[in-house]
Amino acid sequence: EAGVAQSPRYKIIEKRQSVAFWCNPISGHATLYWYQQILGQGPKLLIQFQNNGVVDDSQLPKDRFSAERLKGVDSTLKIQPAKLEDSAVYLCASSPVGGNTEAFFGQGTRLTVV
C-alpha cells in the first residue's frame, strides 16, 4: 500500500514570497490533515478535511494560509506571503475516517523562510 506522498521535500524562500505544498493521501482515506511542526515542538493541526469539506481550520492563519482539497483526494496548502516564523516542517496525514482511527503521515516538507 502506497503511503502519503508529499512534495516538495524541501523549500527555501524569502519572506513575503509565496509557496505551495502538495499532498496525495493514502487511497481511500477520507480524512486529510495538514500539520505544522516547528523545530522542537509537536505537530500542530492547521486544517482537517473530510472528503472535500473542511472540518476544522480553527488554527489556520487565514490571512496568509489557504488550503483546498479538490475532488476529495489531493490537497494543496499555500502560504502567501510567507513570514520568518513560518519556517517549519509541514506534515500531511490521512486516515480512513475521522474519530478513533490512526493517522498516517507523509514525509513532510521542510520550509525555510529567509
Interface residues toward another protein, by CB under 8 A: 31, 33, 35, 40-45, 48, 50, 55-56, 58, 91, 93, 95, 97-108
The gap from C-alpha 52 to its chain's centroid, in whole angstroms, comes to: 14
Q: Which CB, 10 or 15, lies closer to another protein?
A: 10
How far apart CA 114 and CA 107 sit, in angstroms, is: 22
* CB 34, min distance to another protein, A: 12
Closest to another protein by CB, 54 or 114: 54
Beta carbon nearer to another protein, 22 or 104? 104
